[in-house]
Amino acid sequence: MSPLEQWLQEQTRQGRHLYLVLDSDGQLDERNGLVSELGADHYRNLYRGTPADSLANVAPYLFRLDTVEHPALQTLLKSPDRHWGWLASAASADLDGLTAHWQNRLVTGERPNQALYRFHDNRVLGRALAYLQPEQRAEYLGLMTSVCYWQAEQWTVTDNPDPGIYPLPTDPAWSHTPTPEATFKGIQFDNMHRYLIREHIDKLFDLAEQQDMEAWLGGQLDLACTWGWQEPDRIHFLLTQSLQAADYTPQKNWLPRPNETPAMHFDRVYQQALYWQGDAPV
Tell me how far apart the alpha carbons of residues 94 and 100 are, in angstroms, rounded to a whole number.
10
Task: Give the per-residue pLDDT at 275.
Answer: 77
Please report, for residues 34, 71, 139, 160, the alpha-carbon distance to residue 146 in angstroms, rounded to integers and kept in the order given.
Answer: 22, 23, 13, 6
What is the rounded average pLDDT of the residues 206-235?
Answer: 90
| Threshold 0.85, pTM exceeds | no
Tell me how far apart the alpha carbons of residues 7 and 278 are, in angstroms, rounded to a whole number.
59
Amino acid at position 197, single letter: I
What is the rounded average pLDDT of the residues 155-181?
Answer: 91
The conformational region for residue 149 under phi > 0 = left, psi -120 to 50 = alpha, else beta, is beta
What does the pLDDT look like over 94-112, one tens digit per residue? 999 999 999 999 988 766 6
Query: Residue 280: is its pLDDT beyond 50?
Result: no
Band (pLDDT 50/70/90 cuts) for residue 281 is very low
Contact 82, 22 (CB under 8 A): no
Instruction: Name the residue with higher pLDDT: 280 or 81.
Output: 81
Tell me how far apart the alpha carbons of residues 72 and 70 are, in angstroms, rounded to a whole number.
6
Nearest to 266, CA basis, from 258, 254, 275, 277: 254
What is the rounded average pLDDT of the residues 1-9?
Answer: 94
What is the rounded average pLDDT of the residues 127-137?
Answer: 95
Q: Which residues of 232-257 are buried (b: 16+ CB within 10 A; e: fewer)?
A: eebbbbbbbbbbeeeebebeeebebe
Query: Residue 282: is its pLDDT beyond 50?
Result: no
Domain locations in the chain? 3-176, 181-276
Query: Residue 182: is its pLDDT beyond 50?
Result: yes
Spatial CB neighbours of 170, under 8 Å, sequence gap ≥ 6: none
What's the count of helices (H) and strands (E) in the chain, helices before strands? 11, 8
